[in-house]
């Protein structure tokens, strides 16, 4: 395993050299999903990070350079990785490509959604000096517009949602109905709020595409294997967006 040495590594969490990470990065939570994306969608993917098992690859999609790298689970984890990419590797755009649980019967397992706004009880934004009006932050309007137009052009169904970025995976003391009402959200995940906070602080662009992997209403869910491999529409859409903006 690699040991951090500031003379050779940019950060304690990333062994990639300056210039090995593209200006546009796709970030799934699961590093094995990053590996799957690189091996199945990119040309000439090169492993550029494996510190702590957080796999990252840089390759090409239709001659456009792109990096795919995992971000782990939760706001603290994506907060570290996205901040380092923006601040130390000069990344301009991060598109999170992740999974979510549905709070409503209107969003079904397998549906693809775009995060127009992230609600969170987290203090992450507060402590990096970003104001979250009504406890919400938004991604890049410009980037979201490109994503919506690209979805229409490719006949990919995409629904705008408010996401609940929660710090809690187990043991919530409210019902699903109460949480959905309190947060005014349709789906839940654990990362978008801090990603958007970092992008705002560092004047970068960020967006979140999510595939609904579970329904907290009907209790349907995808298997772990499905989560890793059956998000094809989401990845195709994200890469077509990369092609446009890169």
Q: Under a CB-based contact definition with an 8 Å cutoff, are residues 102 and 214 in contact? A: yes
Examine the residue annotation and report whether 160 is marked as an active-site residue of this protein. no
What is the number of other CB atoms lying within 10 angstroms of the CB of residue 35?
Answer: 20
Q: Which of 30, 111, 141, 214 is catalytic?
A: 214
The full DSSP string for 153-190 is HTT---EEEEEEE-S-SS--SS-HHHHHHHHT-SEEES
Q: Under a CB-based contact definition with an 8 Å cutoff, are residues 102 and 108 in contact? A: yes
**Cα dist from 193 to 2, 79, 183, 237, whole Å:** 30, 9, 13, 22
Looking at the annotation, which residues are catalytic? 214
């Amino acid at each position: 395993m690699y040991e951090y040495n500031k003379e050779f590594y940019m950060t304690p969490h990333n062994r990639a050299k300056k210039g090995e990470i593209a200006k546009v990065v796709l970030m799934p939570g699961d590093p094995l999903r990053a590996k799957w994306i690189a091996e199945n969608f990119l040309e000439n993917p090169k492993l550029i990070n494996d510190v702590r098992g957080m796999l990252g690859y840089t390759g090409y999609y239709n001659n456009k350079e792109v990096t795919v790298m995992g971000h782990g689970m939760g706001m603290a984890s994506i907060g570290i990785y996205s901040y380092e990419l923006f601040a130390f590797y000069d990344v301009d755009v991060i598109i999170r490509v992740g999974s979510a649980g549905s709070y409503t019967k209107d969003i079904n397992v397998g549906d693809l959604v775009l995060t127009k706004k992230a609600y969170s009880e987290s203090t992450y934004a507060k402590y990096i000096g970003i104001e979250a009006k009504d406890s919400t932050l938004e991604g890049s309007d410009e980037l979201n517009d490109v994503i919506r137009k690209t979805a229409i052009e490719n006949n990919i169904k995409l629904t705008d949602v408010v996401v609940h970025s929660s710090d809690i995976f187990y043991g919530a003391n409210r019902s699903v109905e109460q949480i959905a009402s309190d947060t005014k959200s349709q789906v839940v995940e654990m990362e978008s709020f801090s990603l958007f906070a970092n992008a705002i602080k560092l004047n970068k662009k960020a967006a979140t595409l999510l595939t609904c992997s579970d329904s907290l209403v009907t209790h349907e869910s995808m298997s772990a294997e499905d989560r890793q491999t059956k998000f094809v529409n989401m990845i195709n859409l994200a890469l077509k967006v990369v092609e446009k903006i890169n």
